[in-house]
């Protein structure tokens, strides 16, 4: 048996000004792609393990993934999908590690259009797809995949397990042990990412119902929160049910879970408080008396309005400037993405006293935001190559390369400045350049969720801050033009249609 295994991942924020060219994906082809995926805690890594255990011949056309950003460049999307389609000819099965929320300059449905093209080339070959929990699912994807399974955790810690699930079902299908049928529902509900955590609220209850349906006989049941920062017809929550031969049973499960979600739709909406109020809350949390039993450690300021892993520019300074205006001190900040500032700091050298503009240099024209960069004065405290190794639990062992990195000490804050946007996978983002986040009074992170497994355990409190940025939870800021209406919560009084 000859099995194609490919990975093509991108979560597209169509409002983000951050470009997504081919090099953003760091594509690895053929044997190089195989080595990149083999042993990784990704769906593609699971696919390879399953295929090798089955004694299959493996074809890996490309392994490619980019951090969330703006629309994928047309040339990049065409090249990557052409590479996968060309390799599909002559294969007996396809295993695809996709995101589900890719939007390109030449495709509003990146995954669906890829699957439609593959079906033209291999009309009768089984196709299984592993998806991110934040995928925006379309009828095109459902029509052209035999099996679709998404993550059940956010933060995502079950990428490998999802690939194993989807791949195992495909091998069972090839062996005629199962006969997959799919049902799906997509209520007109745009969720907020901060309400897609799978450890609390309506999302946790929906995932629990999905797991229950799997225990009761469904082959796979997935609840995908969707990714709302995409101006496409339906950036909405979806439920996908893979049944075993009984279409009516699968449809009934999809109906039940979708109905539960719709009844609890208000719980998928996050209401941001004013930034000034959030900073005041953080100040009070820092002042609370640890002798009374309160937890020690820094107060986390999570700047989810400029979140790296939702397409943020990572150079928005609103949260820091508000914190400084309110007199907060002993703040560890980082990283701010500003290659120009990094170059200036490195040229000045460690120990130099400098005054320079940092951040707020990337315009956000779709939101009508043109920030004015302000000057910071301080000492160049350290310079590094910006590299560290993740200790876990996500992407354990992976080396992170942030580009050249500098530490600017302005007295009230120590500001890490990098050449590239970065998510906070590990404390190493601070410790590699000599900053101890345990010792800070406040730690300001441009993150929503992925920081939590490593930073929340050391924190005294967590305060979510919605500064100006293209990943804000205030949907009223975003000029949605292509979304099908009515849809909740953009249309608060909308009835399900």
In a domain, 450, yes or no: yes
Q: Of the candidates 268, 296, 312, which is a domain's last residue?
A: 268
**Alpha carbon distance 14, 28 (integer Å):** 25
**pLDDT of res. 497:** 45
3-state secondary structure of 15: coil
**Alpha carbon distance 405, 401 (integer Å):** 10
> Within its chain, how far is the Cα of 93 from the centroid?
28
Task: Render 270-284 in DSSP notation, one character per residue.
Answer: --PPPHHHHHHHHHH
Q: Of the candidates 268, 298, 324, which is a domain's last residue?
A: 268
H/E run at residue 347: helix 339-348
- Say if residues 101 and 127 touch (Cβ distance below 8 Å): no
| 281, 246: one domain | no
242 contacts: CB under 8 Å, gap ≥ 6 = 147, 148, 149, 169, 180, 181, 182, 218, 219, 220, 221, 250
| 305, 211: one domain | no
In a domain, 178, yes or no: yes
| 228, 84: one domain | yes
**Alpha carbon distance 348, 382 (integer Å):** 11
Q: For residue 486, is the peptide bond before it cis, meaning its omega torsion is within 30 degrees of 0?
A: yes
**pLDDT of res. 495:** 52
**Alpha carbon distance 122, 111 (integer Å):** 16
**Alpha carbon distance 266, 270 (integer Å):** 9
- What burial class does residue 330 get, using C-beta atoms within 10 Å of its C-beta: 0-12 exposed, 13-18 middle, 19+ buried? middle
**Alpha carbon distance 460, 299 (integer Å):** 5
| 264, 315: one domain | no
| 198, 286: one domain | no
**pLDDT of res. 292:** 52
| 414, 281: one domain | yes
- Say if residues 466 and 460 touch (Cβ distance below 8 Å): no
| 249, 368: one domain | no
DSSP H helical ranges for 218-274: 247-263
Q: Which of 123, 82, 89 is nearest to 106 (CA)?
A: 82
**Alpha carbon distance 185, 173 (integer Å):** 23
**pLDDT tens profile 28-40:** 999 999 999 999 9
- Taking only the tens of pLDDT, the chain with its 497 residues reads 999 999 999 999 999 999 999 999 999 999 999 999 999 989 999 999 999 999 999 999 999 999 999 999 999 999 999 999 999 999 999 999 999 999 999 999 999 999 999 999 999 999 999 999 999 999 999 999 999 999 999 989 899 999 999 999 999 999 999 999 999 999 999 999 999 999 999 999 999 999 999 999 999 999 999 999 999 999 999 999 999 999 999 999 999 999 999 999 999 999 999 999 999 999 999 997 654 555 689 999 999 999 989 999 999 999 999 999 999 999 999 899 999 999 999 999 999 999 999 999 999 999 999 999 999 999 999 999 999 999 877 777 888 999 999 999 999 999 999 999 999 999 999 999 999 999 999 999 999 998 999 999 999 999 999 988 999 999 999 999 999 999 999 997 655 54
| 263, 293: one domain | no
The tokens for 3 are 């099995």
**pLDDT of res. 28:** 98
State the DSSP code for 272.
P
State the DSSP code for 483.
S
| 251, 358: one domain | no
| 326, 261: one domain | no
Q: How many Å from the N-terminal Cα to the C-terminal Cα in the chain?
A: 44
Supply the range of the domain harboring residue 436.
275-472
**pLDDT of res. 318:** 96
H/E run at residue 187: none
* Helix-then-strand count for the chain, H and E: 13, 20
- Number of structural domains the chain divides into: 2
- Say if residues 295 and 342 touch (Cβ distance below 8 Å): no
Q: What is the chain's length?
A: 497
**Alpha carbon distance 338, 344 (integer Å):** 10
3-state secondary structure of 51: helix
**pLDDT tens profile 90-115:** 999 999 999 999 999 999 999 999 99
**Alpha carbon distance 406, 356 (integer Å):** 13
């Amino acid at each position: 048996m000859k099995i194609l295994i490919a990975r093509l991942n991108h979560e597209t924020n169509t409002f983000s000004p951050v470009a997504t060219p081919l090099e953003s994906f760091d594509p690895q082809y053929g044997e190089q792609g195989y080595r990149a995926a083999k042993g990784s805690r990704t769906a593609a890594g699971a696919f390879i393990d399953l295929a090798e255990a089955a004694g299959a011949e493996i074809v890996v056309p490309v392994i490619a993934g980019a951090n969330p950003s703006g629309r994928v460049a047309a040339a990049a999307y065409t090249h990557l999908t052409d590479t996968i389609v060309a390799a599909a000819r002559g294969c007996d099965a396809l295993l695809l590690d996709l995101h589900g929320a890719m939007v390109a300059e030449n495709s509003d449905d990146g995954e669906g259009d890829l699957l439609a093209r593959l079906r033209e080339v291999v009309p009768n070959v089984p196709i299984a797809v592993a998806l991110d929990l934040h995928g925006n699912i379309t009828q095109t994807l459902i029509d052209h995949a035999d099996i679709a399974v998404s993550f059940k955790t956010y933060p995502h810690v079950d990428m490998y397990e999802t690939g194993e699930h989807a791949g195992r079902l495909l091998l069972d299908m090839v062996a005629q042990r199962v006969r997959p049928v799919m049902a799906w529902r997509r209520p007109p509900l745009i969720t907020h990412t901060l309400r897609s955590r799978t450890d609390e609220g309506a999302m946790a209850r929906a995932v629990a119902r999905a797991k229950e349906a799997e225990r009761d006989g469904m082959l796979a049941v997935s609840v995908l929160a969707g990714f709302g920062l995409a101006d496409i017809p339906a950036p909405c929550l979806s439920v996908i049910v893979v049944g075993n031969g009984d279409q009516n049973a699968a449809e009934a499960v999809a109906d039940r879970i979708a109905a539960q979600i719709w009844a609890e739709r208000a719980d998928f909406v996050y209401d941001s408080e004013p930034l000034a109020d959030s900073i005041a809350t953080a100040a009070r949390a820092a002042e609370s008396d640890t002798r009374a039993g309160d937890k020690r450690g820094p107060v986390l300021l999570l700047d989810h309005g400029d979140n790296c892993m939702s397409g943020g520019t990572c150079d928005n300074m609103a949260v820091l400037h508000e914190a400084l205006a309110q007199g907060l001190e002993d703040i560890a900040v980082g990283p701010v993405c500003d290659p120009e500032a990094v170059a200036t700091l490195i040229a000045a050298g460690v120990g130099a006293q400098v005054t320079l503009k940092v951040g707020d240099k990337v315009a956000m024209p779709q939101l009508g935001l043109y920030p004015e960069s302000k000057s910071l004065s301080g000492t160049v405290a350290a310079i590094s190559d910006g590299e560290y190794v993740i200790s876990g639990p996500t992407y354990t062992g992976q080396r992170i390369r942030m580009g050249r990195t500098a530490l600017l000490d302005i007295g009230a804050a120590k500001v890490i400045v990098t050449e590239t946007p970065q998510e906070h996978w590990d404390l190493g983002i601070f410790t590699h350049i000599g900053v101890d986040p345990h010792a800070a009074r406040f730690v300001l992170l441009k993150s929503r969720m992925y920081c939590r497994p490593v930073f929340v355990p050391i924190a005294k409190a967590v305060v979510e801050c919605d500064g100006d940025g293209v990943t804000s939870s205030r949907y009223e800021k975003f000029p949605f033009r292509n979304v099908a209406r009515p849809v909740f919560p953009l249309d608060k009084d909308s009835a399900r249609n």
